[in-house]
Amino acid sequence: MASPSKNLIMSDLISALEGITVANGYKSNVQAVLRTVQDYDSVRTGTGCPAITLKRSNCAYEYRSCDHIDATLTVDLLVHVDGSTDAARYTAIDNLEDDIIAAVSVDITRGGNAIETRVRSTIDDTGDPDTMDSRGGGSSAVITIDIMFERTTAKA
């Protein structure tokens, strides 16, 4: 049986994100892309920052005629950066956001398994005094991506 579209899409997304390095023309050198969500402290002491963790958030289906289904897979990226000042953290988050948009836009079809990939939103905690107490120099953001693909009601 063939791999489900969602698995192929996620594998391609991870490969695209793993390619975010200065050597590849980006502004950031991503240290790790992890398939499980991890908090800033775990990443900082483990793989280092910047790091990207992924969570498949939701998959919405819209049924069409003739067993055809339009699907939208929502993926939340929890990203972590380091910086000794708010300005440095803002720059690091903004650079990583730009790099993620560029990287996922290289192939919006996720290797031919999707119709389109869109970065929907970003929210970050840079400048929030409540996040600076225990973390000392880190910032995190959630970047939400929607990936549209097609499937049928038939068995694969």
Q: ω before 129 within 30° of 0 (cis)?
A: no
pLDDT tens digits, 114-141: 999 999 999 988 766 655 545 567 888 9
Contact 26, 92 (CB under 8 A): no
pLDDT of residue 94 exceeding 80, the answer is: yes
Q: What is the CA radius of gyration of the chain?
A: 17
- Three-state DSSP at 9 gives helix
pLDDT of amino acid 113 = 94
The neighbour count for residue 95, using CB atoms within 10 Å, is 16
**Integer Cα distance of 45 and 41 in angstroms:** 6
Instruction: Summarize the confidence of residues 35-56 as an average pLDDT.
Output: 86
Domains along the chain with CATH numbers? 5-152 (3.30.2000.10)
pLDDT of residue 3 exceeding 60, the answer is: no
- Across the chain, what does the average pLDDT equal? 88
Q: Edge-to-edge strands of the sheet including 138-152?
A: 32-34, 51-63, 68-82, 138-152, 116-124
pLDDT band at 1 (very low <50, low <70, confident <90, very high): very low
pTM higher than 0.75: yes
pLDDT of amino acid 65 = 84
Helix (H) and strand (E) counts for the chain? 4, 5
Least confident of 9-18, 49-58, 64-73, 132-141: 132-141
